[in-house]
Structure 1
């Protein structure tokens, strides 16, 4: 057992098995041994590569999409330009470079990053200079908000429930002869259909976060774009660990591997609607980027000497790469122009 595994084992011995949500939170954010608290996980030297690290095209188009929404809503100023889970700050840096070409927008923006990791906050300041850091979207000011969240929701703690002969039971992390192991708790009342062995996941924090964002946008104006891998009304076990760009057991190396789960966009859309905002249907990342001119931008970069631009475009948009696995969804105020590249979702909150 590594140091964090021993800490988790001690807690289980003292209080009993813990939920997957508690396990994820400890593994990712433990102050001394948590994954995001101790390392830079991005890029070839890390454990995974995100879209902003592949090409500037991604961040530029995200920035210009929000910029067009800013213009469509009358160029409100001042406003908050925010990112949830900003990584190294690469995406925000590319967005700021793009919106600098929009008269008046850069100066009106107060750059705000929602980041829990002190280590990553330091990296972000090195990349972006002086920015405002917040612990939670609940701390965002009540004013126009233009926000991006790329691969943010997939790292939020999830709970899992498995169908048994007695009904649904929550999957827990306990102790066995060889250390940490998965097991089932007592039956719980879960209003879901399913056959024996089926697994469903729930991310309690995600709708609350979307609600906080959407309520500000509904009241004060703005827009938000969420990009992540996942689907609609997800079903099955998607909990996974990645270390050195390779999958491994979620219990193998607590605090030393990235832990994620696929995002269910349905409850996020319902939360936005309940908060009074307009929401789009989720669309493939590749389709969204291409609709914004990704191919044309890649061609210009390639002609200017960026030899990797065409390959980067393929990785971002091809269905066999990130193009279909990743989805994008946007929210904006009722009555406002849709965020570029998105269509409104015709759905009522109670339909999900």
Structure 2
């Protein structure tokens, strides 16, 4: 502008429309800040339909990314999602014993490694830091182990880092502060990273609890012997609908090469992003030693259509009011085994019931209930019932471990389930 004689800002703005664009952007920001939540959802629906009209139907992966992580209207950006008041509750929030027993597992595996001087505890997607805090409390009881470890949390959200900081250090910082590292109240240093690649390449024990189930998936359905992709399109009269591609898509050709010829399913879900992360974890274990423990609800390449939404702890239509409910799909542990390759050894998946029983949750419960009043004992029994019962979390959630190829023992909690030791629950209803 300075180099063109006679071109004033008013002339420039009339020629380019920059003034109008600037005003419009201001109006959008103002509207997003002042409108009610329902209007924001309507705005997001208009955004999705406009994108579909411009570029065609969305893959399920694209839809999940928009709904969960859109910087303005994304579910994880604007909602309080954890705990009884949110849309779902996780095992660490139900009972402290869950995190404590995972902590004991880490200590045991460190001992099996020969008690190395340094070990990184790495958690992917730590939520509010509840699991990490429960583990760290256990670690503090093992002085030699506590001295050897550092905690590394892989977390993108500055808001979630604030929760984790408070849980692990007791400190608080201004909301716009990006936390990088701080000493925990348990002793070891805590470091935050945006991505796994930023964690130093050293011996680690990687924990991923309910991390993979929200990563984007692609859905495919077999028709006339060919795999077609399931997409999200606009519904006549408003709203969204699922459609099937007319023929095999590029995604179908690229992401289904792992399927065995004997796989009889006619509907498959695949998360390539999850596969890449599992490959990176396996490579770390292979190159630098350590362990990995993945906990999520899932299956061994047997389930078909698991894509769903949760709102207020209940199933919800995943295409209704996008951004108002959590989207998720079961983890395919058979796919994870494929992604791990031949340079590591895998264990499981076993049920959560099996793992926690193997780690001695019954004995731990008895110890904690000593000298407690009736109401406290009842609450503790109820929480363990939720963790263990087949119709609660006991069988839906699975544990899966990755270890170096030369590991010559079965880690605790992973004893294979047989007809003789298959987990059973004598308590069929909620404890009173």
Q: Who is 1:181 aligned against?
A: 241
> Could you say which residue in structure 1 is the equivalent of 2:6?
none
Secondary structure at the counterpart of residue 245 of structure 2 = strand
Backbone CA RMSD of aligned residues: 2.2
Q: Which structure 2 residues correspond to residues 318-329 of structure 1 after superposition, within 5 A?
A: 318-329=389-400
How many matched pairs?
Answer: 344
In the superposition, the TM-score normalised over structure 2's length comes to: 0.75
Residue-by-residue CA offset, 1:219-259 (whole Å, 9 max, x unaligned): 21111111111110133110000011111110112222110
Deviation at 1:165, TM superposition (A): 3.6
Unaligned runs of 5+ in 1: 345-352
The equivalences for 1:235-246 within 5 A come to 235-246=303-314
Which structure 2 residue ranges, 5 or more long, are not aligned? Answer: 1-40, 170-181, 183-189, 417-432
1:310 and 2:381 equivalent?
A: yes
More strand as a share of residues? 1
Distance 1:174 1:152 in 2: 28
CA contact (8 A) 1:227 1:327 kept: yes
Q: Quote the offset at 1:133 in angstroms.
A: 2.0
Partner residue of 1:248 out of 287, 306, 316: 316
CA distance in 2, matches of 1:313, 1:261: 25
1:145 is aligned to 2:204: yes
2:350 matched to 1:290? no
* Aligned pair partner of 2:287 in 213, 219, 222: 219
* Separation of aligned partners in 2, 1:33 and 1:180: 17
SS at match of 2:81: coil
Q: Which residue of 1 aligns with 2:222?
A: 163
Comparing 245-254 and 4-13, the one that deviates more: 4-13
Q: Of residues 146, 154, 158 in structure 2, which corresponds to 1:114?
A: 154
Q: Structure 1 residue 341 and structure 2 residue 408: aligned?
A: no
Match for residue 2 of structure 1?
42
TM-score using structure 1 length: 0.91
Listed one character per residue, the Cα deviations across residues 239-291 of structure 1 (whole Å, up to 9, x for unaligned) are 000011111110112222110001110111222234x2111021111011011
> Which runs of at least 4 in structure 1 moved beyond 4 Å after TM superposition?
189-197
Q: Distance in 1 between matches of 2:288 and 2:313?
A: 41
C-alpha displacement of 1:194: 9.9
Aligned counterpart, 1:95: 135
On the 8 A contact 1:66/1:339 being kept in 2, the answer is: no
Q: Shift of the alpha carbon at 1:338?
A: 4.1
Match of 2:366 among 299, 318, 323: 299
